[in-house]
Structure 1
């Protein structure tokens, strides 16, 4: 480097750019390989759901959309979709009603045993669902809730509420307590403070948490499988039964059901993201750091 060179000129040198490209090459290769495999799996399922027969060739011998009609009628997907939406909606509402106040209490209050409570909320997120799902299902069946829609909703709330709590606690801790103190000076009670001050400030975090809960609930298999009855199965459980249940059925109908499941999840996610801007989360965190 010459005496007149600027300190950061070396960062623009061709040799350094080449070394950076070499360092990133394995990561890009792995990511590209993962995306290629994922696209191949999804493509094969979609193509087979429209194919008439597919044996040893690159593409099926013909294409038809009749498998979707057969899958819809055979697996009663209309009722399954309604149950899935009911479960997802109830879990979203329950997670917000229970998770937001609990997160506020854990973020703002110190009390004996707080670490134990936090650990208790953390357990459903770190241990396999079957570990606590079987005892949970036994309790629900003892109280007559097993095999009912209410039991499925309660089971799905077990991991969803702690999930919301652990997402929102950092958001609440970033809010200056002086904002709440100022609201109380002007006569705001606890409920008015929470409704008019905290909820608007936490809205990006709440929406982000609920989007993640939505995706998680649609794909949650274990707890729903253990507690659902024949009339209140969600789409992922119905898909499992259609694959492993006794009887003969065309593979194309199962693939058609899998495509419906993927499209349903994607549509729900797109609708949710219409109301949630992920950049708001980063912007809110940076704004809190600057203050």
Structure 2
């Protein structure tokens, strides 16, 4: 009997009396037809995305590219022409100024509002959260047109102030929803202890809460910066000739592709894409996405 048991153990690859070994692993590793279809769709998407981005990148360096796999030659002159023709120094400066103003104002308005929502319970709190979610979930064009009409009526649109005010509509709720989980992770007893020791409201905010909320403030600021640089609809509806951001200037350059060389337009697209990639890398370097949805609350004793 023991000999039969030993031979069976050798054939199955596991000790006698032990749990089944390889069958469960083989079942997990075996791909189903549905999984193959999903991976094929994902692979097809990324191949097409790489092809589009690669063609624009190659075109921005090509001298001539017609009916061949690669351009006849490569050059960097299109980047210089795009820099001068489209006035990219002014456009990038306006983009950075508008984005910085939106970030500062959004944090100044959104952080105190997030503190109130995180610390206070009041009737209609869920409705307030839903109201803040609407500008983020809705397409910007749906509320951008009436918003631009109001800004034009009061003389803000067509200038940098109109671009900043329009971008504050989705940015402030974004800061509120980003900051609320960070504030909820701070123990309220820390604030109570500081007040018992004589600290006023200003001292509690500046010396107690502010150092603890630096990761949340940094996360919301960087994410709002990325969102503002890439926001097209609201900026397009409210920008004037001297207040165009990079994404709007790219749209106008593509509309005039028949007038200007396509390679210079592609060079501008590469500059915009590179700028967005840098911002995204910085955002992922300093922002932990799990912190944006974590709501850790200490259980009462």
Which bin holds the TM-score, normalised by the shorter protein?
0.7 to 0.9
**Does the C-alpha gap of structure 1 residues 279 and 132 become closer, same or farther in structure 2, counting only changes over 3 Å?**
closer
- Which of 258, 263, 276 is 1:252 aligned to? 263
Q: CA deviation at 1:99?
A: 0.9
Note the aligned Cα RMSD (angstroms): 2.9
1:51 aligns with 2:62: yes
Give the aligned partner of residue 278 of structure 1. Answer: 288
What's the TM-score, normalizing by structure 2?
Answer: 0.85
- Which of 232, 237, 240 is 2:251 aligned to? 240
CA distance in 2, matches of 1:290, 1:38: 47
Give the aligned partner of residue 18 of structure 2. Answer: 5
Q: CA deviation at 1:216?
A: 1.0
Give the aligned partner of residue 160 of structure 1. Answer: 171
CA distance in 2, matches of 1:285, 1:226: 35
Q: CA deviation at 1:206?
A: 2.2
Which structure 1 residue ranges, 5 or more long, are not aligned? none
**Does the C-alpha gap of structure 1 residues 26 and 174 become closer, same or farther in structure 2, counting only changes over 3 Å?**
farther
Other structure's SS at 2:71 match:
coil
- Kept in 1, the 8 Å contact 2:223–2:283? The answer is no
What's the TM-score, normalizing by structure 1?
Answer: 0.87
**Does the C-alpha gap of structure 1 residues 130 and 285 become closer, same or farther in structure 2, counting only changes over 3 Å?**
closer
Which structure 2 residue ranges, 5 or more long, are not aligned? 1-13
Give the aligned partner of residue 200 of structure 2. Answer: 189
Moved more, 164-173 or 93-102: 164-173
**Does the C-alpha gap of structure 1 residues 114 and 290 become closer, same or farther in structure 2, counting only changes over 3 Å?**
closer
Give the aligned partner of residue 115 of structure 1. Answer: 126
Give the aligned partner of residue 117 of structure 2. Answer: 106
Q: CA deviation at 1:183?
A: 1.9
Q: CA deviation at 1:87?
A: 0.9
CA distance in 2, matches of 1:153, 1:179: 36
Give the aligned partner of residue 76 of structure 1. Answer: 87
Larger Rg over CA atoms:
2
Give the aligned partner of residue 214 of structure 1. Answer: 225
Give the aligned partner of residue 130 of structure 1. Answer: 141
Q: CA deviation at 1:287?
A: 7.7
Give the aligned partner of residue 201 of structure 1. Answer: 212
CA distance in 1, matches of 2:299, 2:60: 52
